[in-house]
Structure 1
């Protein structure tokens, strides 16, 4: 049996087991460990052990629980709710203004958290009931929250880009900078769509009544202070890291400590908030660690087989595809996988295969990390099995059906495809900030 056949058998076995509903880390780790044992005998059992030691020696892995803790602390302590009140008043006079404010809330939450799940939870529990009560179209606002929450895995400090940097062996600071402008471009396109559509269809996003938005400038400025605290936390965390004052791990510790002190300053740091934050942090962190451990084991076997070189030989030499055609095919595979898996599972399944292939084809791995993240955002929102669709269904009120959720996402999927095309056609949109930072 050739190495190409073994690699194909490993990948197909993994996908078949995933369809049975087994845990992602269990499937990936089992296929990797079993393949090592069958290929190299009893000596192959050292591969999972070596992967575990490698994981424990990854000092940057400390950033994951700290970033996750920071996001949940800000959410559980109610600081995100104050942010929405600020956007509520300042944007209320604009047609569709509350929907625009929701996108703004999602961008700030993304800059505080780095996870799309947290953005979805905040949007569905804080923004959605208020938008529906104000007479906003339920289909449009459902799409707004799903699209806005997807920014969490692109805007720094994206946890997904941290994982990509670990697996692809790329600097996290470069990936964060690369995701900043594309994330803002997508947010800007979302806002532009909302404003234009509500201009021609005002009933979809009515303005706030005058008695609610007519406040003195002093009162508005007082509300504006609600947005300063998250920005200060973001500056201390990300700004100090990019200026070279703190390391990646130190910056995550600064963020976690700042979030805790912010909750304390607001008088909301109690045992209930601490317990809820720690429980959620522990659950998400353990999930990430198990998945990374399984990915390292699977990737070690794949590398040992020379699977990347074999696949490159098949596509470039035998089939005669161009590098750009291979890149498009890889992006389409993400959309297909995204119907069944979350972003982390997709990353650990295909990154050991795709990233070396991308580098060998002559593409920039930093730029490709942004393409991967945007494509995952699209996959999250693509029916029938997009991950975000079912998260929204679980959190939405009863009057929003699954059909409403399916219909709500298509305009935003189209916008994200436009954004993906822009970043693909103009790589400098993603690479300008990293190159400027390196030059500085």
Structure 2
């Protein structure tokens, strides 16, 4: 059996196991272990040990539990609810004001957390019921929450970009900066879409009543304090890191400490809250570690077979594809895999294969990292099997069904595709800010 056929069989076996509903790390690890033992005999047992020590030597890995912890502190301590109350009052008189405020909230939560799930959880449990109660169209607001929460993996401090940076050996600060303009561009498109839809059909988003917003200006200004704490946390973490005053690991520690102090300052850091935050942080962190460990073992066997070189030969020599055709094929594969896998699982599976090829073709790996992340956003919310669609169904109020979720998302998918095309045609949209900071 040729090495190419063995590599294809490994990949196919892994995908079959994933479609049976097995845990991602178990499916990847099992295929890696079985292939290693069959190909290399007893000596293959050294591979997981080597992968484990390689994992433990990645100092940026320390950032993952700290970023995750920080996000859960902000969520569980109610600081996100305060933000929504502020946006509700200040945006309530605009057409679609609460929907627009929810998009801003999703961007802020994304900047504090780095994961799409946290933004979706807050949007589905806090924003959706409030907007439904005020007569907002359920299709519109369901799409707003899903589209807005997907920004979590694009704007800094994106956990996905931290992982990509470690695998591609690219500076995380440059990746974070590269995601800023595409992320803000996408959020701006969402806001414009909501405003235009609500102008055309005001019944989609009734304006909040005067009774709810009738309060002294002093109280309205006091509500603005809800945005001060998230801004300070974000600047102390991301700003100091990008400016070069602290390292990546230090920035995550600063963010986690600042979030904890903020929750304590607001007297919301009870034992119950600490226990819930610790439990969720441990669960998500362990999932990441097991997944990356399994992927490293899989990648060691896969690469040992020459799979990367085989893919290069297939795309470039046999199929005679142009560099842009190869990039587009990669994007399509991300969307297909994103129907079954989360962004982290997908990254650790394909990155060791695609990144060397992208580098060989002469494309910028920072630009490709942004492109990968944006395509993940699309894959997450694309029917029928988008990963986030089913998370949304589990968390949304009972009056929002799966068909409503499917119908709501298409305008936001279209806007994301437009943004991806813009970044592909004009790479400087993503690369201008990193080059500006690096040059300065």
- TMscore range, shorter length: over 0.9
Map of 2:55 onto structure 1: 55
Question: Alpha-carbon deviation of 1:78?
Answer: 0.3
TM-score normalised per structure 1: 0.98
Map of 1:30 onto structure 2: 30
Map of 1:272 onto structure 2: 272
Once residues 347 and 58 of structure 1 are traced to their aligned partners in structure 2, the CA distance between those partners, rounded to angstroms, is 17
Map of 2:171 onto structure 1: 171
- Output one character per residue of 1:239-269: Cα deviation in whole Å (capped at 9) or x when no partner: 1111111111111000000000000100111
Once residues 280 and 39 of structure 1 are traced to their aligned partners in structure 2, the CA distance between those partners, rounded to angstroms, is 39
Map of 2:292 onto structure 1: 292
Map of 1:255 onto structure 2: 255
Question: Alpha-carbon deviation of 1:34?
Answer: 2.0
Map of 1:397 onto structure 2: 397
For the residue of structure 1 that corresponds to 2:366, the secondary structure is: helix
Map of 2:374 onto structure 1: 374
**Residue 345 in 1 paired to residue 345 in 2?**
yes
Once residues 161 and 33 of structure 2 are traced to their aligned partners in structure 1, the CA distance between those partners, rounded to angstroms, is 26
**Residue 112 in 1 paired to residue 112 in 2?**
yes
**Residue 431 in 1 paired to residue 431 in 2?**
yes
Once residues 354 and 218 of structure 2 are traced to their aligned partners in structure 1, the CA distance between those partners, rounded to angstroms, is 54
Bigger mean CA deviation after superposition, 211-220 or 99-108: 211-220
**Residue 333 in 1 paired to residue 333 in 2?**
yes
For the residue of structure 1 that corresponds to 2:259, the secondary structure is: helix
Matches within 5 A, 1:20-419: 20-419=20-419
- Output one character per residue of 1:95-138: Cα deviation in whole Å (capped at 9) or x when no partner: 00100000000000000000111001100111011100111000
TM-score normalised per structure 2: 0.98
Once residues 385 and 317 of structure 1 are traced to their aligned partners in structure 2, the CA distance between those partners, rounded to angstroms, is 34
Map of 2:17 onto structure 1: 17
Q: Which runs of 5+ in 1 are unaligned?
A: none
Once residues 74 and 382 of structure 2 are traced to their aligned partners in structure 1, the CA distance between those partners, rounded to angstroms, is 29
Question: Alpha-carbon deviation of 1:177?
Answer: 0.6
Bigger mean CA deviation after superposition, 211-220 or 104-113: 211-220
Once residues 51 and 384 of structure 1 are traced to their aligned partners in structure 2, the CA distance between those partners, rounded to angstroms, is 35
- Output one character per residue of 1:131-189: Cα deviation in whole Å (capped at 9) or x when no partner: 00111000110010000110011110011111111122221111111111111111000
Once residues 110 and 19 of structure 1 are traced to their aligned partners in structure 2, the CA distance between those partners, rounded to angstroms, is 29
For the residue of structure 2 that corresponds to 1:353, the secondary structure is: helix
Bigger mean CA deviation after superposition, 215-224 or 238-247: 215-224
Once residues 438 and 33 of structure 1 are traced to their aligned partners in structure 2, the CA distance between those partners, rounded to angstroms, is 42
For the residue of structure 1 that corresponds to 2:240, the secondary structure is: helix
Bigger mean CA deviation after superposition, 11-20 or 114-123: 11-20
Bigger mean CA deviation after superposition, 326-335 or 278-287: 326-335
Once residues 30 and 392 of structure 2 are traced to their aligned partners in structure 1, the CA distance between those partners, rounded to angstroms, is 32
Question: Alpha-carbon deviation of 1:208?
Answer: 1.0
Pairs aligned (count)? 440
Once residues 391 and 14 of structure 1 are traced to their aligned partners in structure 2, the CA distance between those partners, rounded to angstroms, is 23
Question: Alpha-carbon deviation of 1:303?
Answer: 2.0
Q: Which runs of 4+ in 1 moved over 4 A?
A: none
Question: Alpha-carbon deviation of 1:228?
Answer: 1.0
Aligned-pair Cα RMSD in Å:
1.0
Question: Alpha-carbon deviation of 1:214?
Answer: 3.6
Once residues 271 and 182 of structure 2 are traced to their aligned partners in structure 1, the CA distance between those partners, rounded to angstroms, is 39
Once residues 22 and 166 of structure 2 are traced to their aligned partners in structure 1, the CA distance between those partners, rounded to angstroms, is 25
Once residues 16 and 93 of structure 1 are traced to their aligned partners in structure 2, the CA distance between those partners, rounded to angstroms, is 51
- Output one character per residue of 1:397-435: Cα deviation in whole Å (capped at 9) or x when no partner: 111111111101111111111111111111111111111
Once residues 327 and 242 of structure 2 are traced to their aligned partners in structure 1, the CA distance between those partners, rounded to angstroms, is 30
For the residue of structure 1 that corresponds to 2:68, the secondary structure is: helix
- Output one character per residue of 1:7-65: Cα deviation in whole Å (capped at 9) or x when no partner: 11111111111112111111111212222222222222211110011111111111000
Question: Alpha-carbon deviation of 1:206?
Answer: 1.4
